[in-house]
A = this chain, B = another copy of it.
Amino acid sequence: MEDIRYQPIGIVHSPIRQEDHVPPRPTHSKSIEGTVEVFPEYTDGLQDLDGFSHIVLLCHLHLSNGHKLVVKPPSDTTSHGVFATRSPMRPNPISMTVVQLTAVEGSILRVTGLDLIDGTPVLDIKPYFPALRDNEDIRTGWAARKEG
């Protein structure tokens, strides 16, 4: 099958370095601030993004080196299918991070809540909408006992 090909639209500037421990769960990275530098040719696509309090960053985990179908998350002692985890060792190493958007300054987005390593290529930016109604029953499987 023919490859699907993408080009980065920007890059993450983050205090998390390659050698650091990336926060294993989104709730642990609530306070990590950084910026997304959107490449100049895409700046026009940011119009009205500043009205959103939160955005979704889809990034290419460029340091991911091959994939595993069964992985043991750092927060757990047992293994799970990679699609039931947030492991970077995925067949297509795309990350999804919801961050708070604190400012839009030209092509620079100031964000809080990063769990991405400095230099990570950004594939897409989306407005964040609460996906589910408050009263919907949500189960988080093996990860439920790791919450908090």
Q: Which A residues lie at the B interface, using CB under 8 A?
A: 1, 3-9, 26, 38, 42, 44-56, 58, 60, 69-70, 79-86, 90-92, 94, 96, 98, 121, 123-132, 134, 137-144
Contact = CB atoms under 8 A, between A and B. Distances in A.
Interface SS majority for chain A: mixed
Given A7-B1, A53-B139, A141-B127, A96 B58 contact: yes
A81 B126 CA distance: 10
A42 B96 CA distance: 20
Contacts of A131: 26, 54, 98, 128
B6 A4 contact: yes
Contacts of A83: 38, 42, 45-46, 49, 55, 124-127
Contacts of A44: 69-70, 81
A85 B127 contact: yes
A84 B47 contact: yes
Contact of A1 (B8, B70, B125, B130): B8
